[in-house]
């Protein structure tokens, strides 16, 4: 039978317990905030996957040639070949998916081809702007979590918490921390207890620069459209026109 706890020991125990309760309460809140952040990342990724991907693939199909795609990416400042694969520019299934339902304006075939490239670029610019706003929101939320974690560790003595855990009876230590506490290795327990910062948003979502306004790049896009149109452009345009009314726009 254990001897009764002295008043000093009892007070020390309560203080340590309060500190430990504060740690685990804070950890639970941070984990909830992090899970909420991860869910928002998944939701906002749809802008990239469902909108920007379609915009870019349409442009890739229209430009068709790899050298024109490279010129376009350099013009826009997009450093990665996002969603680009050479086979997509010739895939009937891809054309059917991305151009069905897309409104196309113009009188001549060449004019429609050029206007379609302009409209795809304008749509891409709008979606990139929305994507960047969402990424900025996520970055701000992630930074708030990082600041909260850093502030917590500046104001909390983790060694006191570890000492409290080591002072508990074995039944309480039968959980996941039991092995670490029994080993008595401070650094190992510290690693298990330390709350990691959420990964930067760029780890999950590629950063995209703001696109130059259409008016400033229209001449370059026209030159690209003219060059692409000369290389089997009429046939591609007819194929696109044949598909435009079959499905809703994306």
244 DSSP 8-state letter: T
Confidence (pLDDT) at 12: 62
Q: What is the DSSP string of 68-81?
A: HHHHHHHHHT--S-
Confidence (pLDDT) at 170: 41
- Confidence grade of residue 142 (pLDDT, cut at 50, 70, 90): very high
Higher pLDDT, 52 or 25: 52
Confidence (pLDDT) at 249: 42
- What are the pLDDT digits (tens) for 203-249? 999 999 999 999 999 999 999 999 999 988 898 898 888 876 555 44
- Confidence grade of residue 16 (pLDDT, cut at 50, 70, 90): low
Q: Which distant-in-sequence residues (6+ apart) come within 8 Å of 196 by Cβ? A: none
Confidence (pLDDT) at 192: 65
Helix ranges (H only) for 47-185 are: 53-63, 66-76, 92-99, 109-155, 158-167, 178-183
Instruction: List C-alpha distances in Å: 208 to 39, 155, 244.
Output: 21, 37, 29
């Amino acid at each position: 039978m254990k001897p009764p706890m002295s008043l000093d020991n009892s007070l020390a125990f309560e203080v340590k317990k309060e500190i430990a309760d504060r740690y685990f309460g804070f950890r639970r809140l941070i984990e909830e905030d992090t899970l909420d952040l991860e869910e928002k990342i998944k939701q906002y990724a749809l802008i990239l996957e469902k909108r920007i991907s379609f915009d870019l693939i349409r442009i890739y199909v229209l430009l068709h040639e790899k050298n024109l795609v490279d010129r376009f990416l350099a013009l826009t400042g997009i450093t990665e070949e996002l969603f680009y694969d050479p086979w997509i520019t010739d895939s009937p299934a891809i054309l059917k998916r991305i151009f069905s339902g897309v409104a196309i304006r113009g009188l001549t075939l060449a004019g429609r081809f050029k206007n379609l490239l302009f409209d795809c670029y304008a749509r891409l610019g709008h979606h990139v702007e929305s994507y960047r706003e969402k990424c900025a929101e996520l970055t701000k939320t992630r930074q708030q979590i990082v600041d909260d974690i850093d502030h917590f560790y500046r104001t909390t003595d983790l060694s006191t918490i570890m000492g409290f855990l080591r002072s508990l009876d074995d039944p309480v230590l039968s959980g996941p921390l039991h092995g670490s506490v029994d080993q008595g290795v401070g650094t190992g327990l510290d690693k298990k207890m330390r709350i990691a910062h959420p990964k930067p948003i760029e780890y999950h979502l590629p950063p995209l620069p703001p696109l130059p306004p259409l008016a400033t790049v229209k001449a370059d896009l026209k030159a690209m459209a003219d060059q692409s149109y000369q290389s089997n452009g009429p046939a591609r345009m007819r194929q696109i026109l044949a598909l435009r009314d079959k499905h809703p726009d994306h």
